[in-house]
A and B are shown apart, each in its own frame.
Chain A
Amino acid sequence: MTSSSQVIVVGTGVVGSVIAEHCLDAGLEVLMIEAGPRVSRAQIVENYRNLPLGAKPDATASYPPADWAPHPFHGLEHLESTGPNKYDPTYIRYAGGSTWHWAGTSWRLTPEDMQLRSRYGVGRDWAFDYETLDPYYNMTERKLGICGPADPLDQWPRRDRSMPYPMPHLPLSQGERKFTEVMQTKLGLRNVPVAQARNSGMPYDDRPACCANNNCVPVCPVGAKYDAATSLNRLEAKGATILDNSVVYRVETGEGNRIVAVHYYDRDKTSHRVTGEHFVIACNGVETPRLMLMSADDRNPNGIANSSDQVGRNMMDHPQQGYTFTTTEPYWLGAGPVVNSGIMETSQGDFRRDHAAVYFRLNNFARNRDIAKRAMASGKVGRALDEEIRRLTATSLNVVAAFEMLPDPNNRLTLSAQKDWLGLPRPSVYWDVGDYVRRSSVEYSNPLAQRIAEAVGATDFKPASPEKFSTSKHIMGGTIMGNDAATSVVDRHSRTHDHANLYLPGGGAMASTACGNSTITMTAMAFMAAEALVSEAKGA
């Protein structure tokens, strides 16, 4: 069993994989330690197909967790939620991580999104500006294969790009085009093609072109959508060692508070110790802070990297509210990828002083499974039933409002008294989306959603309740980035203020959420961390 490596990367999700590859390309020795099993795509596709209709909408149902690597899963207690709102993120502890079931939507932040404090007097500013992040976004778009529009008016953010997208955007279906037209003519809102990690019209990165089969969540059957599992064989070919079914449960410090080793349990609950020179913990925004807190020692009694007491605090997400309505004319959503267009311009403005911004995404999931219950309950039979299924599928639209959220130290991940299968404390999160978001729902988002519904001729719009938000599963904030070691956990390179050779890249480092899905930003930050690690390893 490998017991030492120059670079240790814990977690084989997109963040860990990108850093590992950057280190390998720079000639460093890399060991990756992964809690979950390594599975085949065919197995996951079969799991999905064999689910009864009622379980199919659950993005995680095709991924039953291993006993030793539990993740949020129907019927299994893993993540505890306390507080006024329900914190209910899903993520997957399998080799390849949660991009297995992500939608691949890849919105960049805008310069304003990174300066909430100085521009609007709320939240935090980032430790650097958009221009600093821009080259790393370019690297991310190339690494993951992100397609996007060439028309500057359709690009997000709306500013000159320093590099074009590596692939053209995926076509909008006729229904999406009709929606786009209606938004423009009736509301003056621009519904733009989503930048997405999906192969558009061509193979890319040894993966095939998207063929519209509309199953990106929970799994792309052909690998046209990027997920980190698609990169693991390549990492091994470049020299990485990957240990799967190995759950890291302790990070060990030594002289000068440097990290000297990590400890993991294998599936037989046998403990192993692995030493290294540089450590990257990329277990996602829940499991990384959990591991830091679990690893408390005499030098670091509040947990690793936690002299600021900010580890586990400032947990953030994009709280969301969905609107499903029926139109009179057919829109026929469902051909193509599951998310393909959205309205981003509602996410910017001076109003952010008072309430959260919002982004409206037009979901493009095939509607059949969602309307089935309604159609069957109609009491119709024969041709009338077939016509009802056709009508409801063609005319039901699902628009989701995704809100930004402010960092609040009370939204906090702690260790539960409950233990998991390995005897490790389960994560517990106190969750309150906050008045900033609730105000936006009432004053901004609901009225906008109503106008959208009326513009498309909806007959049954219902406003969302300001008390009810679902979780977007974009896990952010728990190891927040900043220049000040007293108020943040990691520096601009995602390196901990407390431990010179420990990096905690990923969503936890994000200082603001904006409204767009955040993995592209996590990955761009991972590239920044990887560059810093490599130059440190090379003694630069």
Chain B
Amino acid sequence: MLASAMPSFTFAATQDIESRFMGASQLLVNHDLSPAVGARIAAFAQASYPNLGDMLDRITETAATRGASRVEDFFDAIPEGELRDFAFWVISAWYTGSSSGDRDATLFTYEEALLYQPTIDMVPIPTFGFSAPNAWGNDLYPLTDLPRF
């Protein structure tokens, strides 16, 4: 009995942590986030942070206390130390698509890393086609025109 119950329990627990991870992520990073990428980051976080669930809940609660849905509106309320570091790690994972800046880090995504999106109007994601032949001489767009993503 127990043996057959375990996998579904684990599956449910995984699903739960994934959705809590996506919830907290969406508060920390206010862009369209891919659930598939989120699942990979969550799996890595689960293996690295024993108190992952607790930290996710505390981030969500911090935002709720402020009634905030934008990161700017509650980030300063995340206590410095472990929780703040973790929040930065989550943001960094979404932006860099990697678990750290080390060369042996785990890759979560390449082309969906958010790092490329603020400049997607001007700079290609390397390996992906950017323009028709010899047609990349577009204007120098101003720094202020942030693309939506």
> Which residue of B103, B125, B141 contacts A52 across the interface (Cβ within 8 Å)?
B103
> Which residue of B91, B103, B124 contacts A61 across the interface (Cβ within 8 Å)?
B103
In the bound complex, CA of A387 to CA of B92 (Å): 15
A133 beta carbon closer than 8 Å to chain B:
no
**B85 nearest CB across to chain A (Å):** 11
The number of chain B residues with a CB under 8 A from chain A is 53
Q: Are B123 and A366 in contact (CB under 8 A)?
A: yes
- Which of chain B's residues 39-76 have a Cβ closer than 8 Å to chain A? 70-72, 75
B134 beta carbon closer than 8 Å to chain A:
yes
Q: Are B72 and A53 in contact (CB under 8 A)?
A: no
Q: Are B146 and A386 in contact (CB under 8 A)?
A: yes
Q: Are B134 and A200 in contact (CB under 8 A)?
A: yes
In the bound complex, CA of A389 to CA of B96 (Å): 11
A533 beta carbon closer than 8 Å to chain B:
no
Q: Are B122 and A334 in contact (CB under 8 A)?
A: yes
**B80 nearest CB across to chain A (Å):** 11
Q: Are B30 and A382 in contact (CB under 8 A)?
A: yes
B95 beta carbon closer than 8 Å to chain A:
yes
> Which residue of B103, B111, B139 contacts A58 across the interface (Cβ within 8 Å)?
B103
The number of chain A residues with a CB under 8 A from chain B is 61
Q: Are A387 and B118 in contact (CB under 8 A)?
A: yes
Q: Are B72 and A382 in contact (CB under 8 A)?
A: yes
- Which of chain A's residues 365-392 have a Cβ closer than 8 Å to chain B? 366-369, 372-373, 375-376, 379, 381-387, 389-391
Q: With A334-B122, A366-B124 as known contacts, state yes or no: A212 contacts B136, CB within 8 Å.
A: yes
Q: Are A52 and B130 in contact (CB under 8 A)?
A: no
A441 beta carbon closer than 8 Å to chain B:
no
* Chain A residues in 8 Å Cβ range of B128: 213
> Which residue of B71, B111, B126 contacts A215 across the interface (Cβ within 8 Å)?
B126
Q: Are B129 and A54 in contact (CB under 8 A)?
A: no
> Which residue of B96, B105, B138 contacts A174 across the interface (Cβ within 8 Å)?
B138
Q: Are A213 and B119 in contact (CB under 8 A)?
A: no
> Which residue of A74, A367, A372 contacts B96 across the interface (Cβ within 8 Å)?
A372
Of chain B, the residue at the smallest CB distance from A395 is: B143
**B15 nearest CB across to chain A (Å):** 26
Q: With A213-B128, A214-B130, A381-B75 as known contacts, state yes or no: A387 contacts B143, CB within 8 Å.
A: yes
A201 beta carbon closer than 8 Å to chain B:
yes
**B11 nearest CB across to chain A (Å):** 27
A234 beta carbon closer than 8 Å to chain B:
no
Q: Are A53 and B119 in contact (CB under 8 A)?
A: no
Of chain A, the residue at the smallest CB distance from B117 is: A386
In the bound complex, CA of A202 to CA of B116 (Å): 28
- Which of chain A's residues 189-230 have a Cβ closer than 8 Å to chain B? 199-202, 209-215, 221-222
In the bound complex, CA of A213 to CA of B141 (Å): 19
* Chain A residues in 8 Å Cβ range of B3: none
B8 beta carbon closer than 8 Å to chain A:
no
Most buried by B among A45, A58, A332: A332
Binds B, one of A165-173, A303-311, A460-468: A165-173
* Chain B residues in 8 Å Cβ range of A336: 136
Of chain A, the residue at the smallest CB distance from B89 is: A376
B140 beta carbon closer than 8 Å to chain A:
yes
Q: Are B111 and A49 in contact (CB under 8 A)?
A: yes
A394 beta carbon closer than 8 Å to chain B:
yes
In the bound complex, CA of A178 to CA of B111 (Å): 29
Q: Are A52 and B102 in contact (CB under 8 A)?
A: yes
In the bound complex, CA of A48 to CA of B134 (Å): 24
Q: Are A387 and B134 in contact (CB under 8 A)?
A: no
Can you list the 4 inter-chain pairs with the closest CB atoms, starting with the nearest?
A209-B133, A55-B103, A334-B123, A52-B105
A-B contact pairs, 10 of them (CB 8 A): A49-B110, A52-B97, A171-B134, A174-B137, A213-B126, A213-B128, A214-B126, A330-B140, A335-B131, A381-B91
9 extra interface residue pairs, beta carbon distance < 8 Å, beyond A332-B141, A335-B122, A393-B122: A202-B133, A213-B124, A213-B128, A334-B119, A335-B138, A375-B95, A376-B88, A382-B30, A390-B118
